[in-house]
């Protein structure tokens, strides 16, 4: 059995979600009684080694690749490595680039593919995976019949502990051409500062904010907390905020440590995008709003009075 995890660095570093994926992949490999090879792209060797220390046995530090947006040639260059290091399982996180790569590599290797993996398999032989369905309302068991499988992890999985392994590091220069065959163009930033999908804290506004002119307190709260901004779908449909901030079933799926929902009812389609959050705080003037069913802390009140008090208290 051989297991490989692929991580594309961000700004020549890695994010907390990515270290969580290494930790989770490490537990996965241990349960399968196998070694874990981490394949990194866009990371300098020292950062790749640090990331590997979250549980990998071996790190392949790849450079000389075409730009990550050039998916076709990325696959061409990486294919032999995936084939050698991921004979049984090839694992990916759920960022835009990884998901696109996962689908193509599964097709190319004629592997099965399972997305939305948030728990270790129920069994390896046969491979049975537990996954959420219907916006997280039910858990399903997925039986995989293929001998080789590509898996895409959810954000927020894995308890990352630095330095728990001392992986062997190998640097690899791949000669990837670039003809921009298939280009994945992704723009994920919500607030221009950090990627919404990477953020550990998120402040989000719904239709209860009443209009784009009322976003100042949310921006201020986000700034005090060091958080990214998000919104419900009607807010982006109305053009109050960019679609890049929309979370939910049809938007981004996020799993921050803290999610603050302001004037959001908590419809099932919204909750589908945020129910991986560790702590949910909801501010809503309707005490019956469904968001309170999933919130860890709820404040029943008007955002116009609660937000300024909250910001003042946090500043103090
Ligand atoms: C197929 C499908 C996919 C969908 N996908 C998504 C998705 O991905 N993401 C998503 O968000 N939605 C999605 N929706 C829409 C979803 O069903 C809800 O309509 C939407 O989430 C509601 O947004 P909201 O909570 O901002 O607005 P509303 O439902 O209008 O809720 C506004 C809330 O603000 C509160 N409020 C009002 N004024 C104040 C105030 N002054 N102070 C405090 N609270 C106040 C109200 O009590 C209310 O609870 C989808 C729907 C469908 C059918």
Query: pLDDT per position in the chain (316 positions), as tens?
Result: 899 999 999 888 999 999 999 999 999 999 999 999 999 998 999 999 999 999 999 999 998 777 767 788 888 888 999 999 989 999 999 988 899 999 999 999 999 999 999 999 999 999 999 998 887 788 999 999 988 999 999 988 999 999 999 999 999 988 766 555 555 555 544 445 678 988 999 999 999 999 999 999 999 999 999 999 999 999 999 999 999 999 999 999 999 999 999 999 999 999 999 999 999 999 999 999 999 999 999 999 999 999 999 999 999 9
Instruction: Kindly tell me the sign of the dihedral angle through the C-alpha atoms of 160, 155, 111, 82.
Output: negative
b/e string for 200-226 if b means 16 or more Cβ within 10 A? Answer: bbbbbbbbbbeeeebbebbebbbeebe
Q: Report the alpha-carbon angle 307-16-176, nearest 5.
A: 130
CATH class of 3-173: alpha beta
Residues 6+ apart with CB under 8 A from 125: none
pTM above 0.95, yes or no: no
Q: Report the alpha-carbon angle 258-10-163, nearest 5.
A: 75
Residue 228's alpha-carbon distances to 91, 153, 192, 218, 256, in angstroms, are 27, 22, 9, 10, 10
The answer, yes or no, to whether any atom of ligand 1 lies below 6 A from the CB of 303, is yes
The protein residue with its alpha carbon nearest to ligand 1, atom 51, reads: 269
The protein residue with its alpha carbon nearest to ligand 1, atom 7, reads: 248
Q: How far apart are CA 259 and CA 228, in angstroms?
A: 10
The protein residue with its alpha carbon nearest to ligand 1, atom 8, reads: 248
CATH class of 201-315: alpha beta
Are 3-173 and 201-315 the same fold in CATH? Answer: yes
Burial of 183 (0-12, 13-18, 19+ CB in 10 A): exposed
The answer, yes or no, to whether any atom of ligand 1 lies below 6 A from the CB of 232, is yes
Single out the residue of 36, 26, 141 nearest to residue 87, CA to CA. 36
Single out the residue of 230, 221, 188, 250 nearest to residue 15, CA to CA. 188
**Residue 4 Cα, ligand 1 centroid: separation in angstroms?**
40
**Residue 269 Cα, ligand 1 centroid: separation in angstroms?**
9
* Domain boundaries of the chain, sorted by first residue: 3-173, 201-315
Q: Read off the tokens for 58.
A: 């071996």
Which atom of ligand 1 is nearest the CA belonging to 248?
A: 8
The answer, yes or no, to whether any atom of ligand 1 lies below 6 A from the CB of 250, is yes
């Amino acid at each position: 059995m051989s297991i490989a995890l692929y991580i594309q660095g961000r700004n020549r570093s890695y994010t907390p979600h990515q270290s969580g994926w290494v930790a989770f992949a490490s537990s996965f490999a241990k349960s399968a009684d196998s070694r874990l090879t981490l394949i990194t792209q866009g990371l300098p060797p020292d950062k790749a080694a640090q990331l590997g220390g979250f549980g990998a046995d071996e790190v392949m530090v790849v450079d000389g690749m075409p730009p990550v947006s050039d998916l076709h040639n990325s696959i061409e260059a990486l294919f032999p490595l995936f084939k050698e290091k991921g004979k049984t399982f090839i694992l990916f996180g759920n960022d835009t680039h990884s998901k696109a790569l996962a689908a193509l590599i599964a097709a190319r290797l004629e592997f099965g593919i399972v997305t939305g993996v948030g728990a270790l398999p129920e069994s390896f032989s046969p491979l049975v995976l537990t996954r959420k369905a219907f916006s997280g309302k039910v858990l399903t068991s997925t039986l995989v019949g293929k001998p080789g499988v590509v898996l895409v992890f959810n954000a927020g999985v894995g308890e990352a502990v630095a330095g728990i392994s001392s992986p062997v590091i190998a640097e690899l220069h791949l000669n990837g051409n670039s003809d921009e065959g298939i280009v994945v163009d992704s723009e994920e930033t919500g607030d221009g500062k950090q990627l919404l999908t990477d953020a550990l804290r998120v402040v989000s506004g719904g239709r209860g904010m009443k209009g784009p002119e009322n976003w100042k307190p949310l921006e201020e709260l986000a700034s005090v907390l060091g958080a990214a901004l998000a919104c419900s779908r009607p807010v982006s449909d109305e053009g109050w905020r960019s679609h890049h901030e929309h979370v939910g079933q049809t938007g981004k799926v996020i799993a921050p440590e803290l999610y603050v929902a302001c004037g959001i009812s908590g419809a099932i389609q919204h909750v589908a995008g945020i129910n991986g959050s560790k702590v949910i705080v909801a501010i809503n003037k309707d005490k019956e709003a469904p968001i309170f069913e999933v919130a860890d802390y709820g404040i029943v009140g008007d955002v116009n009075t609660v937000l300024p008090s909250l910001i003042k208290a946090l500043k103090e």
